[in-house]
Amino acid sequence: MKEVNTDNHEPHKPWAINLQNVQFRYGKSGAENALNIPLWQVARGERVFLHGDSGSGKTTLLNLLSGVLTPTQGTIELLEQPFSTLSARRRDTFRAHHIGVVFQQFNLVPYLSVLKNIQLANHFAAKRDKDIVASANAMLAKLNLPSDVLHKPANALSVGQQQRVAIARALINQPELLLVDEPTSALDASARDAFMTILLEMCESVEASLIFVSHDMSLKEFFNSRIDMSSLNKPFEGAAC
Ligand SMILES: Nc1ncnc2c1ncn2[C@@H]1O[C@H](COP(=O)(O)OP(=O)(O)OP(=O)(O)O)[C@@H](O)[C@H]1O
């Protein structure tokens, strides 16, 4: 397994992620509520396991990568294109076209059917899928979900089923970058391993780069690179430690 080197001297490969001198603070709070990442580059196609203590900034970093937050300083490029410097509207469009997200609460619209949840993601895609029902069905079959879930409201599904729907929704537009935050916390060990296998197979099939955040170090075996937030997030100059 490769520990990701943040002082990267390898020959240039196309980047999925390129963070340069990124700083982030929540409001005017102290440095402990902040990120300071001088450099972080992830090559396209890489599958990265991102771990770290509670409060070390993992979710904040994912929110910066998905454009929910923007850096206080520095720049984020995704897929070799400017991202953090875009207007909020353009960032939303970029996200809809290129990024899939599976966050802790899955972010499914609870009262909408599984199909409508998946359709919603495709609605904002660069290319609308003319046969979204067939595509959604094919995706659900790959995820071992029966096709009758398609018309059930999301909140009528088990947690494990909702996780799979969240993956289907995140991958339906074949995103180049997939961001996943602690999705296995509610699963037992065998369900967790099944989830990981499916997630990685699906990622492979659409050739997505993956950033996967978790506390659960037993999951690191599923990844070819891993990074600890403490090696990424440097103390602010002059900050009391
Ligand atoms: N909305 C917010 N306003 C102010 N501070 C925040 C906010 N969200 C997070 N923080 C602070 O930012 C720091 C990083 O939090 P973050 O949620 O990114 O950590 P994490 O590594 O994802 O934690 P966990 O593993 O517990 O989910 C923490 O000190 C946290 O208290």
Q: Mean pLDDT, the chain, as a whole number?
A: 85
Q: Is the pLDDT of residue 226 over 90?
A: yes
pLDDT the model gives residue 107: 77
For residue 223, being part of any structural domain is answered with yes
Protein residue closest via CA to atom 10 of ligand 1 = 33
Q: Is the CB of 55 under 6 A from ligand 1?
A: yes
State the ipTM, two decimals: 0.98
Percent of the chain with pLDDT over 70: 88
Evaluate if pTM is beyond 0.90: no
**CB of 92 closer than 6 A to ligand 1?**
no
- 56 Cα to the center of ligand 1, angstroms: 7
Does some domain include residue 199? yes
Residue 153's domain comprises 46-71+88-232
Would you state the pLDDT for residue 7? 52
Count of other CB atoms within 10 angstroms of residue 27: 5
In a domain, 128, yes or no: yes
pLDDT at 104 over 80: no
Whether residue 57 is contained in a domain is answered as: yes
Instruction: Answer whether residue 173 is part of any domain.
Output: yes
pLDDT tens readout for residues 181-217? 877 766 677 777 877 888 888 788 878 999 999 888 8
Output 31 or 79, whichever has higher pLDDT: 79
- Euclidean distance between CA atoms 212 and 152, whole angstroms: 28
Question: Domain tally for the chain?
Answer: 1
Residue 100 lies in a domain: yes
Q: What is the pLDDT of residue 241?
A: 44
CA quadruple 202, 206, 207, 208: dihedral sign: negative
Contact between residue 16 and residue 176 where contact means Cβ atoms under 8 Å apart: yes
Q: What is the pLDDT of residue 126?
A: 66
Domain containing 211 — which CATH number?
Answer: 3.40.50.300
Ligand 1 pocket check for 26: Cβ under 6 Å: yes
Instruction: Say if 198 falls within a structural domain.
Output: yes
Q: Tell me whether residue 17 is in a domain.
A: no
Q: 35: CA distance to ligand 1 center in Å?
A: 10
For 48-90, the pLDDT digits (tens) are 999 998 888 998 999 999 999 999 999 999 999 999 999 999 9
